[in-house]
Chain A
């Protein structure tokens, strides 16, 4: 009987997967999107970065400088510092004019409101720099709704900071006394290690999200989709144990979820390897920790079976594809929410959290992606055991609902849900 059910499950799953691959919507959500998501995101980021970098480098900043007489500087000194200054990010050309003397706010606003002078072609101002004497300080006036003005303010700020630093050093008789307390952070983490740490937050969340997304359409397709197409009855006529038929559907959905997550990781690896590497100023080295995947596999499998069975069970409450999509749309948020809590910094794998569905998976995968996972072995074992229990309960829940004689219009209400749980089972 068990062997018969299992061989039926495999045959049904194979047929469902062939069907799924031929469905454009399932194909997009299970294969194309997971595979292309990260390459597409990274490519857009790269293009955006290159565009902004190029645009900033070419953007000429125009500024006006006013220095009050008692400030101890001439406006020309400040203009020279701004025009000759260089900084790490804003290497673009800078032009400024200066006046000695104070300036009031109304004048500044007027100056910034001026547009290009058509007669002499003078460019409008991007910002106004006002150096005060009492109290001493500099105020940069700019318009945060203009990208040019924002860029100008950034450039002024950085270049003046450098000027101030030079002046401070010159003012000290022994500049080393000043340097003694100049704090510089030095991170001992390798770029690779830092990449791994960041991945340990991203990958588990991505895994949960992709599993749910990969299972979503197949789950609706094998339940409400079958009823809508009129093929549910055809399937019921198979001279095989219904247990095997329903298990086959769950197996097909789980396989789709696994394919989606695997392709997503492959896409991420591809993107990290080739696209992230081509950033001119590479922020950090992201390498996919292939070695961690083997211990992650049992946790991933249990979770995918849990999600697929849960979604199949819920989707079987509905009778049309539209109803199924609406219901699972809400349910997937319920699944993803604990995963989001699990990636909040400071939330660690404890024996208590190891029992919380979904969150347990995120925390376990996070542990396994970081060095020293063995220290959390007891908690990981709790996760493994409870995951199996939850997957088993989800499969029982799905079998209970898919194996019922369904009645009603497919709408979902608590009363109908309870009546379905109580309803008579279809023949074996």
Chain B
């Protein structure tokens, strides 16, 4: 990974990012869902940015657009300097994406999964073998590296997923509620993993609705509700903006203000 020297360069930048899902039954208008409504986001290298919001706020849709799984309805942006709408292949090479639903192929082993992804990331055979063994060691996969993923525990699966996400050494990590469903130990491992990536100078954008996680890890937080980014800044900046001390109060105040403003008179 080659990172820019300054940590003020945007690793992720979006401009008026929007996503509207059509009516599944093909109708127009009434049943369309505006999941994301004009999000402007900027995350830097060497920064952990937390996207905080209630269920259905648009966090996952935003992250999936950044990961090039979904196409924005309008707007766009860059990932590590690459336009992720115009050049999605290039963008995918620069990100490691992980979510609760980013499943592992159940009938492949962790070693086979890493080899498969590595080869499709264009890592040459001689380099790939060493890289896979390095990750097996780093994430302590040795004991189950040759067992099918369908037989692994949730913690073992999560470690394999992380190894898969960082296999190609991406400068940007996008994590969608990465601790959902994990036990205490696995959650702790995940938090350590995120903190370490920051120390390496990578940009980590992750969504969560666990406030303690956000408070502990994030350099900056973006609060999102009903598809809009309500506020963005350090925790202290958000406290100052709302006049609240505790993060849950900050969050409630921002969401309540926004909903009040949007409510019909």
A11-40 contact mask (Cβ, 8 Å, vs B): 1 or 0? 100010011001100000000000000000
**Chain A hits for B1, CB < 8 A:** none
Q: Could you count the A-B residue pairs with CB atoms below 8 Å apart for me: how many are there? A: 96
**Chain A hits for B144, CB < 8 A:** none
Q: Which segment, of B62-70, B232-240, B244-252, B255-263, faces chain A?
A: B62-70
CB distance A241 to B24 under 8 Å?
Answer: no
Give the distance to chain A from B60, nearest Cβ to Cβ, in Å: 10
**Chain B hits for A425, CB < 8 A:** 71
Does A423 have its Cβ within 8 Å of any Cβ on chain B? yes
Give the distance to chain B from A292, nearest Cβ to Cβ, in Å: 37
Q: Give which listed residue, A19, A239, A426, contacts B120 with CB less than 8 A.
A: A239
Closest to A233 in B: B102
CB distance A239 to B108 under 8 Å?
Answer: no
If A237-B67, A405-B70, A427-B88 touch, does A415 touch B25 (CB 8 Å cutoff)? yes
Task: Kindly state the separation between the CA atoms of A230 and B117 in the bound complex, as whole angstroms.
Answer: 16
B85-96 contact mask (Cβ, 8 Å, vs A): 1 or 0? 100110011000
Task: Kindly state the separation between the CA atoms of A266 and B165 in the bound complex, as whole angstroms.
Answer: 44
**Chain B hits for A23, CB < 8 A:** 107
Total interface residues in chain B, CB < 8 Å? 39
CB distance B25 to A18 under 8 Å?
Answer: no
CB distance B89 to A15 under 8 Å?
Answer: no
- Tell me which residues from 88 to 127 in chain B have a Cβ below 8 Å from any Cβ of chain A: 88-89, 92-93, 97, 99, 101-108, 112, 116-117, 119-122
Q: Give which listed residue, A229, A231, A237, A413, contacts B25 with CB less than 8 A.
A: A413
B35-54 contact mask (Cβ, 8 Å, vs A): 1 or 0? 00000000000000000000
Does A238 have its Cβ within 8 Å of any Cβ on chain B? yes
Give the distance to chain A from B82, nearest Cβ to Cβ, in Å: 11
Give the distance to chain B from A170, nearest Cβ to Cβ, in Å: 78
Task: Kindly state the separation between the CA atoms of A18 and B88 in the bound complex, as whole angstroms.
Answer: 28
**Chain B hits for A236, CB < 8 A:** 68-69
> Is chain A's binding surface mostly helix, strand, loop or mixed?
loop
If A18-B108, A238-B117, A240-B120 touch, does A233 touch B103 (CB 8 Å cutoff)? yes
Does B29 have its Cβ within 8 Å of any Cβ on chain A? no
Total interface residues in chain A, CB < 8 Å? 34
CB distance B119 to A11 under 8 Å?
Answer: yes
Q: Which 3 pairs from chain A and chain B are nearest by CB?
A: A408-B24, A419-B26, A230-B103
28 CB-based A-B contacts, threshold 8 Å: A8-B120, A15-B116, A19-B105, A22-B107, A231-B103, A231-B104, A231-B105, A233-B99, A233-B103, A234-B164, A238-B120, A239-B93, A239-B120, A239-B168, A241-B89, A408-B24, A413-B25, A415-B25, A415-B26, A416-B25, A419-B22, A419-B26, A423-B22, A424-B22, A424-B71, A426-B69, A427-B68, A427-B88
Task: Show the binding face of B for A, using Cβ within 8 Å.
Answer: 21-27, 64, 67-71, 73, 85, 88-89, 92-93, 97, 99, 101-108, 112, 116-117, 119-122, 148, 164, 168
Q: For the A-B complex with A239-B89, A415-B26 known, give 5 more contacts whose Cβ atoms are closer than 8 Å.
A: A230-B101, A234-B164, A237-B97, A239-B92, A427-B69
Task: Show the binding face of A for B, using Cβ within 8 Å.
Answer: 8, 11, 15, 18-19, 22-23, 229-231, 233-234, 236-241, 405, 407-409, 413, 415-416, 418-419, 422-428
